[in-house]
Copies of this chain bind each other. A is one copy, B any other.
Amino acid sequence: MQLSEHDSTDTYLIAPSPGASKLTRAVEGVDHEGRVQHLNVVEERPLTIFLNAQEIVTAMTIGDYPEYLALGFLRNQGMLRDGETVLCVDYDDELDTVVVRTDGQTTYEDKLKKKTRTSGCAVGTVFGDMMEGLEGVRLPDAAVRTSDLYTLAHRINTTPSLYLEAGAIHGTVLCEGARPLVYMEDVGRHNAVDKIAGWMLSEDVGPEGKLLYTTGRLTSEMVIKTALMGIPVLASRSGFTAWGVEIARQVGLTLIGRMRGRRFVCLSGEDRLIRDADPALVADEDRQNKRKGGQ
């Protein structure tokens, strides 16, 4: 898909649907003063992903865009290769399954044997050759205008979202210039990235000129995933780990953390920045738009 210059520059192609009925549930609690509270709480449900006849994984997800999640997961795990044709993606909402059918031979069984438990997660695994693919990564040139960064942060933070509605959820946004294109949310932050990868694969959108924004921390796994997706710029309102920074520098990814109001810090690939905005003229974050400090 070629993004037309005539597209509105401030309209999402996909925005969050905080009002969608299946994504949240009313839950009753009792507050500090003993008052009954009716809370709108995000769902978390299992989705089992199959590649051809093989069951691969069961993901815990809010449940939107299961096809994109399955495609993006398989792609980001290296289980769907370049040139492999996806014949169909079948979602069954009663069985909570997605089956991705391809014309290729899979090599994932060996991958499943070697697992790395990753940061920010329960019992996470990165399949064995996640790091291996990095040597070949060459990220496209990109220019990052700080004026665009500030515009993006403001647009994303003021977009109605499940996070603002119910909290306890991560967001990831694929952006181009000052425009947020696709805003995905999920209880697992990597699900949100995978849904974006699945959308890019489905719509044939390349990583050139893109920036990935995440509400989550910039750990090694997030940096690796972004680099393997070919996206040259990764930004977050949260912090970062030393190894995340180190890998970003190795692969030439522009890494921007702690992006809040006028503040940010660039940890890697600073040469891509075009400082065309005066930070003094940027408003501090509205209090109401601040993340609620959830982890």
**Which residues on A are within 8 Å of B, measured CB to CB?**
24-25, 27, 29-34, 37, 39, 41-46, 57-61, 73, 77, 115-127, 146, 166-168, 170, 187-190, 214-222, 225, 237-245, 257, 260, 262-267, 270, 273, 275, 279, 290-295
Taken together, the copies of this chain in the complex come to 2
Q: For the complex, what is the distance from the CA of A187 to the CA of B124, rounded to whole Å?
A: 12
By DSSP majority rule, is chain A's interface helix, strand, loop, or mixed?
mixed
Q: For the complex, what is the distance from the CA of A284 to the CA of B126, rounded to whole Å?
A: 41
Q: Is the CB of A263 within 8 A of B60?
A: no
Among B46, B168, B187, B264, contact of A31 (Cβ-Cβ < 8 Å): B264
Q: Is the CB of A117 within 8 A of B57?
A: yes
Chain B residues, Cβ within 8 Å of A265: 29-32, 37, 39
Q: Is the CB of B122 within 8 A of A118?
A: yes
Q: Is the CB of B243 within 8 A of A43?
A: yes
Among B122, B168, B243, contact of A241 (Cβ-Cβ < 8 Å): B168
Q: Is the CB of A119 within 8 A of B187?
A: yes
Chain B residues, Cβ within 8 Å of A61: 119
Chain B residues, Cβ within 8 Å of A167: 238-239
Give the Cβ gap from A113 to chain B, nearest Cβ, in Å. 9
Residue of B nearest to A41 (CB): B242
Known: A30-B270, A217-B295. A168 touches B240 (CB 8 A): yes
Give the Cβ gap from A176 to chain B, nearest Cβ, in Å. 22
